[in-house]
Structure 1
């Protein structure tokens, strides 16, 4: 099926709003040995958490956050190693398991801001676009990547790595890890968030284009 696509805006992000909840902040304050987190006003939670984080050595702080978010996916040795590697490399882009990139990005950026640059800065991309979809059924992450690739540079990493999945009727499970957030209220206007590693401003080479989704989903 063919669609017309209009790119409305592309924005580079150094944090993703509302990823961390108030409950996250309060639990993390306790893990960072901050007394009586329940007494802190909501608007002061992030500032107090950043202060508590910097009372730890950088690798130790990273280890606490990895344990909090990813203990079901990583073993103790992996988390120990990753906590040190994060000081040297962009783990949220380089770690082989792409399903962890979203969480790793948000962990990294919390540490980057708390330690004022000790950790490497990583970026996310917000893509705002409109498609002429008259259906009341939302298009899946895989379907949208298949559609958007018609307006992307051939040098884009997704295009180069997943050409078969973008152009043929085959499964595309990696789409769930590539697209971190996808929002739409009317199935025509979308906001997509992903890593700048997968999609940057320079990767979108056409502001308006027609594309098709050859595969279902």
Structure 2
């Protein structure tokens, strides 16, 4: 299908709105030894959490938060390993399982701010765009449409060229795009890692793109 796309804005951010809830902060504060904090405002809870976290070694704090958010996906050894690797590398970009990148980004950025830069500073990209016709819009469709405007050295284009061309199933699109939200009649906001898509990689603000669906051949 052929789509017409208008890129209205591409922003680089170091934190995602609503990544953490008040309930998250209260639970984590208990994990870090502070109870009876439920009467505090969300901003006060975050300040308390930063102070509580700073009393722990960075690796220990990382392990506590990783366990809270990803205990269902990671075992104890993996959590311990990641808690150390986070101090050296942008784990939300480099971890092999890309389905965890979104949560790892949120965890990393919380720790980055709590420790004033001890953890590497990862970035996310937020794209506001219009697409017509507004039909069958999925994360996969948007990535295939954006292929027309992204620079040739873009990581998605280099790693998933066959997928973008409709020659292979593109299940990875669900993890590459962290969020795709409709904000108007034909308007959407896409959120992803700067690793996958950076502001500098967008060549055209308005373009046409033909999206080819992958058709699985039955045996």
Task: Give me the TM-score of the superposition, normalised by structure 1.
Answer: 0.95
Relative to structure 1, the CA distance from residue 185 to residue 216 in structure 2 (aligned partners, 3 Å threshold; closer, same or farther) is farther
Q: Please tell me whether the aligned partners of residues 143 and 216 of structure 1 are also in contact (alpha carbons under 8 angstroms).
A: no
4+ runs of 1 displaced by more than 6 Å? none
Equivalent residues, number? 215
1:39-118, aligned counterparts within 5 Å? 39-118=39-118
- What does the per-residue CA deviation read over 1:28-73, in whole Å, with 9 as the maximum and x for residues that have no partner? 1111111212232333111111111111111100000000011111
1:139-158, aligned counterparts within 5 Å? 139-158=137-156
Gaps of 5+ in 1: none
Q: What value does the CA root-mean-square deviation take over the aligned residues?
A: 1.4
Report the Cα offset of residue 187 of structure 1.
5.5
Which range moves more in the overlay, 113-122 or 163-172?
163-172
Give the match's secondary structure for 2:38.
helix
Quote the Cα distance in structure 2 between the aligned partners of 1:133 and 1:24: 39
Quote the Cα distance in structure 2 between the aligned partners of 1:41 and 1:160: 45
Give the match's secondary structure for 1:39.
coil
Q: Please tell me whether the aligned partners of residues 169 and 214 of structure 2 are also in contact (alpha carbons under 8 angstroms).
A: no
Quote the Cα distance in structure 2 between the aligned partners of 1:185 and 1:90: 30
Quote the Cα distance in structure 1 between the aligned partners of 2:150 and 2:93: 20
1:173-192, aligned counterparts within 5 Å? 173-186=171-184, 188-192=186-190
1:123 corresponds in structure 2 to 123
Report the Cα offset of residue 169 of structure 1.
4.7
Report the Cα offset of residue 175 of structure 1.
0.3
Report the Cα offset of residue 75 of structure 1.
0.8
Gaps of 5+ in 2: none
Q: Please tell me whether the aligned partners of residues 87 and 119 of structure 1 are also in contact (alpha carbons under 8 angstroms).
A: yes
- What does the per-residue CA deviation read over 1:150-197, in whole Å, with 9 as the maximum and x for residues that have no partner? 111111000110001101253111001100011104451010000000
Give the match's secondary structure for 1:19.
coil
2:204 corresponds in structure 1 to 206
1:194 corresponds in structure 2 to 192
Task: Give me the TM-score of the superposition, normalised by structure 2.
Answer: 0.94
Q: Please tell me whether the aligned partners of residues 85 and 91 of structure 1 are also in contact (alpha carbons under 8 angstroms).
A: yes
Quote the Cα distance in structure 1 between the aligned partners of 2:138 and 2:144: 10
Quote the Cα distance in structure 2 between the aligned partners of 1:134 and 1:77: 45
